[in-house]
């Protein structure tokens, strides 16, 4: 996404983050248009509540999912390990990126320091990259399992290696944000106002060597971080469903109910995660692509509202994993119920012990001592 602001005494172009890692575009434009576009209290309240809900659901849901997969040995297969990796990237997004977005939405400037100015977009880009790569690996693993059941199949050790590789590649892809994100007050110095209230304000923005470099990077991200991976994933699941459909026509009812139906349910769950992820990130990718190539397509006031809606929709992707898993995975539901029951039983046992009369405890101890003495005699 990019934003351009022009004043009678200033000609300065501000370019926000890339197609999947935009954080600064909202407040950069809002700062320059406070008088023309006064902030809405209702809109700010809605954003705070909505982002807080996404943080709570995403953090608790994904942490619970990782805990259950790590706790149960039988759940540590290749697919679940990659699902846990997807949840870890969502947790990182909820912990680092979403709170910063909320704070930046409330402020008229960047107040979080230069380190977070560089780290936040880097972490968000890395997290999104890990998520999409995890979805690709899950699709490839399911494709190999269904289409080539007697061939090579990855083991749990291979999945751990793949997880490490996804984070390494994601870090490399996100490195430009560490280099080109800067903290500056230059855009505010030449504003022709009687008393410039923004002179000492800082903003976090990207400063690329040229527009060609920026467009080359953001377009590459759009292709290799969104379009091509999702196309590969959809192709894998299309072949999987065609194979399962052909298998259903050649197997008897009993065999179909035992194998094909179970595989079908798992694939529907995984495909639902992919489709939901793609739909959540589609508006922000379209918005950022439009503004990368034609940054005056929307008026500044509408720009803020549209960006906020698109960014919030994209951040809602952090809630997809636990919600879809919770509704469609019977193993996860069973383990979650067992964990909750154990917690409730532990609390009840502690409460019953604490509420037990002290005199009764003393009597029980005395009776036990007397019983032991009688046995010794």
Residue, of 280 and 334, whose pLDDT is higher: 280
* Degrees, nearest 5: CA angle 109-213-181: 25
Give the separation between CA 54 and CA 319, rounded to whole angstroms.
7
**pLDDT on residue 62:** 94
For residue range 5-36, list pLDDT tens digits in order: 333 333 333 444 333 344 334 344 444 444 45
**pLDDT on residue 237:** 93
Closest by Cα among 66, 86, 79 to 132: 86
23 close to 17: Cβ distance less than 8 angstroms: yes
Q: Which ranges of 260-357 would DSSP assign to H, the alpha helix?
A: 261-293, 300-315, 320-328, 330-354
In the DSSP assignment, the letter for residue 185 is -
163 close to 156: Cβ distance less than 8 angstroms: no
Give the separation between CA 147 and CA 11, rounded to whole angstroms.
58
Q: Kindly report the pTM of this predicted structure.
A: 0.79
Q: Would you say residue 223 has pLDDT above 70? A: yes
Residue, of 220 and 303, whose pLDDT is higher: 220
Token pair belonging to 175: 């490195």
Q: Which of 203-207, 213-217, 294-298, 347-351 has the lowest mean pLDDT?
A: 347-351
For residue range 285-342, list pLDDT tens digits in order: 998 888 878 766 676 667 777 888 899 999 999 999 888 877 777 777 777 788 777 7
**pLDDT on residue 289:** 87
The segment with the largest mean pLDDT, out of 27-31, 67-71, 252-256, is: 67-71
């Amino acid at each position: 996404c990019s934003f351009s602001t022009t004043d009678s005494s200033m000609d300065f172009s501000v370019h926000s983050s890339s197609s999947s890692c935009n954080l600064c575009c909202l407040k950069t434009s809002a700062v320059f248009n406070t008088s023309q576009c006064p902030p809405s209290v209702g809109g700010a309240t809605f954003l705070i509540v909505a982002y807080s809900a996404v943080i709570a659901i995403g953090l608790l849901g994904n942490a619970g999912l990782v805990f259950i997969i790590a706790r149960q040995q039988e759940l540590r297969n290749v697919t679940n390990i990659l699902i846990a990796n997807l949840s870890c990237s969502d947790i990182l997004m909820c912990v680092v990126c979403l709170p910063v977005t909320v704070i930046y939405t409330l402020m008229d400037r960047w107040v979080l320091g230069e380190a977070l100015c560089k780290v936040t977009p880097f972490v968000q880009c890395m997290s999104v990259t890990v998520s999409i790569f995890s979805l690709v690996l899950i699709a490839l693993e399911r494709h190999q399992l269904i289409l080539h059941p007697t061939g090579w199949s990855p083991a749990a050790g291979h999945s751990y290696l793949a997880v490490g590789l996804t984070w390494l590649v994601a870090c490399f892809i996100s490195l430009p944000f560490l280099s080109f994100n800067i903290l500056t007050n230059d855009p505010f110095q030449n504003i022709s106002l009687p008393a410039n209230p923004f002179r000492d304000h800082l903003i976090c923005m990207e400063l690329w060597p040229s527009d060609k470099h920026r467009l080359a990077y953001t377009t590459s991200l759009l292709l290799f971080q969104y379009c091509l991976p999702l196309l590969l994933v959809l192709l894998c699941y299309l072949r999987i469903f065609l194979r399962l459909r052909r298998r259903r026509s050649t197997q008897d009812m009993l065999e179909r109910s035992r194998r094909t139906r179970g595989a079908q349910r798992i694939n529907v769950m995984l495909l639902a995660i992919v489709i939901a992820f793609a739909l959540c990130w589609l508006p922000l990718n379209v918005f950022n692509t439009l503004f990368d190539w034609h940054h005056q397509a929307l008026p500044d006031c509408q720009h803020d509202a549209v960006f906020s809606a698109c960014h919030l929709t994209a951040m809602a992707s952090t809630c997809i994993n636990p919600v879809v898993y919770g509704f469609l995975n019977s193993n996860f539901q069973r383990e979650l119920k067992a964990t909750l029951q154990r917690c409730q039983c532990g609390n009840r046992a502690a409460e019953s012990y604490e509420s037990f009369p002290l005199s009764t405890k003393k009597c029980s101890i005395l009776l036990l001592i007397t019983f032991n003495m009688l046995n010794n005699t």
